[in-house]
A and B are shown apart, each in its own frame.
Chain A
Amino acid sequence: MSFILLIEQVLNGVQSGVMLFLMAAGLTLIFGVMGLINLAHGSLYMVGAFAAAAVAAATGSFLLALVAALAAAALAGCLIEMTVIRRLYDRDHLDQVLATFALILIFSEGTRFLFGSFPLFLDIPAALSGPVMLPGGIQYPLYRLVIIGVGLAIAAGLFLLIARTRIGIQIRAGEADREMIAALGIDIAKLYTLIFALGAALAGLAGALVGAIQSVQVGMGEPVLILAFVVIVIGGIGSIKGALIGALLVGLTDTLGSVLLPLFFANFMEASAATSVGSSLASMSIYILMAGVLLFKPTGLFGEA
Chain B
Amino acid sequence: MKSLVMAASVAALAAGGAWAEEGKVKVGMITTLSGGGAGLGIDVRDGFLLATKMAGNENLEVVVEDDQRKPEIAVQLADKMIQSEKVDVMTGIIWSNLAMAVVPAATAQGKFYLSPNAGPSALAGKGCNPLYFNVAWQNDNLHEAAGAYANDAGYKNTFMLAPNYPAGKDALTGYKRTYEGEAAGEVYTDLGQTDYAAQIAQIRASGADSVFFFLPGGMGISFLKQYANSGVDLPVVGPAFSFDQGILQAVGEAAVGIKNTSQWNKDLDNEANKEFVAAFQEEYDRLPSLYASQGYDTANLLLSAMDKADVSDAEAFGEALKEADFDSVRGKFSFGNNQHPVQDYYVREVVKEGDVYTNKLIGPSLTDHADAYAADCKM
Asked whether any CB of A lies within 8 Å of a CB of B in the complex, the reply is yes
Q: List chain B residues, Cβ under 8 A from A81.
A: none
A-B contact pairs, 29 of them (CB 8 A): A9-B201, A12-B201, A16-B195, A16-B197, A109-B34, A112-B34, A117-B42, A119-B221, A121-B252, A130-B231, A139-B204, A141-B197, A141-B229, A141-B230, A141-B231, A212-B225, A213-B229, A214-B221, A215-B194, A215-B217, A216-B250, A217-B36, A217-B218, A219-B36, A223-B192, A255-B198, A258-B198, A276-B164, A276-B169
Expressed in whole angstroms, the Cα–Cα distance for A219 and B318 within the complex equals: 41
- Which 8 residue pairs spanning A and B have beta carbons closest together? A131-B231, A215-B218, A215-B221, A119-B250, A12-B197, A117-B38, A214-B222, A279-B188
User: CA–CA, A129 to B254, complex, Å?
Assistant: 11
Interface flag for A63 (CB, 8 Å): no
Residue pair A121, B250 in contact (C-beta under 8 Å): yes
Q: Which residues of B contact A (CB under 8 A)?
A: 34-36, 38-39, 42, 164, 169, 186-190, 192, 194-195, 197-199, 201-202, 204-205, 217-219, 221-222, 225-226, 229-231, 246-247, 249-254
Chain B binding site: helix, strand, loop or mixed by DSSP?
Answer: helix
Kindly state the separation between the CA atoms of A32 and B218 in the bound complex, as whole angstroms: 34
Nearest-CB residue, chain B, relative to A276:
B188
Q: Which of A1-24 contact B (CB under 8 A)?
A: 1-2, 4-5, 8-9, 12, 15-16
A144-B197, A283-B190 given as contacts; is B218 within 8 A of A139 (CB)? Answer: no
Q: Mark A108-122, 1 if CB is under 8 A from B, else 0.
A: 110010001111110
CB of A262 closer than 8 Å to a CB of B: yes
Confirm or deny: A239 has a beta carbon within 8 angstroms of a beta carbon on chain B.
Answer: no
**Chain A interface size, under 10 / 10 to 19 / 20 to 34 / 35 or more:** 35 or more
Query: With A and B bound together, what is the CA distance between A217 and B164 in angstroms?
Result: 21
Q: Is the CB of B164 within 8 A of A215?
A: no
Which residue of A has the minimal Cβ distance to B172?
A272
Does A96 sit within 8 A of B, measured CB to CB? no
Q: How far is the CA of A4 from the CA of B204 in the complex (A)?
A: 11
Query: For B205, what are the chain A residues with a Cβ–Cβ distance below 8 Å?
Result: 1-2, 4-5
Contact between B252 and A5, CB atoms less than 8 A apart: no
A218-B198 in contact (CB<8A): no
Interface residues of A (CB under 8 A from B): 1-2, 4-5, 8-9, 12, 15-16, 108-109, 112, 116-121, 123-124, 129-131, 139, 141, 143-144, 210, 212-220, 223, 255, 258-259, 262, 271-272, 275-276, 279-280, 282-283
Tell me how far the C-beta of A206 lies from the nearest C-beta in chain B, rounded to whole angstroms.
12
Identify 20 new A-B residue pairs, CB closer than 8 A, beyond the known A130-B229, A141-B230, A259-B201: A4-B205, A9-B198, A9-B201, A12-B197, A108-B35, A119-B221, A121-B249, A130-B231, A131-B231, A139-B231, A210-B194, A214-B222, A215-B194, A217-B218, A218-B36, A223-B192, A262-B187, A272-B186, A275-B186, A276-B169
Contact of B164 among A112, A223, A280 (CB under 8 A): A280
Known: A16-B195, A119-B221. A271 touches B36 (CB 8 A): no
Q: Which residues of chain A are near B190, meaning CB under 8 Å?
A: 258, 279, 282-283
| B249:A214 contact, CB within 8 angstroms | no
Q: What's the minimum C-beta distance from A83 to chain B, rounded to whole angstroms?
A: 25
Q: Would A15 and B197 be within 8 Å (CB), given that A117-B38, A279-B188 are in contact?
A: yes
Closest residue to A123 on the B side, CB-wise?
Answer: B252
Q: How far is the CB of B107 from chain A (nearest CB, A)?
A: 30
Determine the distance from Cα of A288 to Cα of B34 in the docked complex, in whole angstroms: 32
Contact present for A5 and B201 (CB under 8 Å): yes
Nearest B residue (CB) for A1: B205
Asked if B225 contacts A220 (CB within 8 A), the reply is: no
Whole-angstrom distance between the alpha carbons of A223 and B222 in the complex?
14
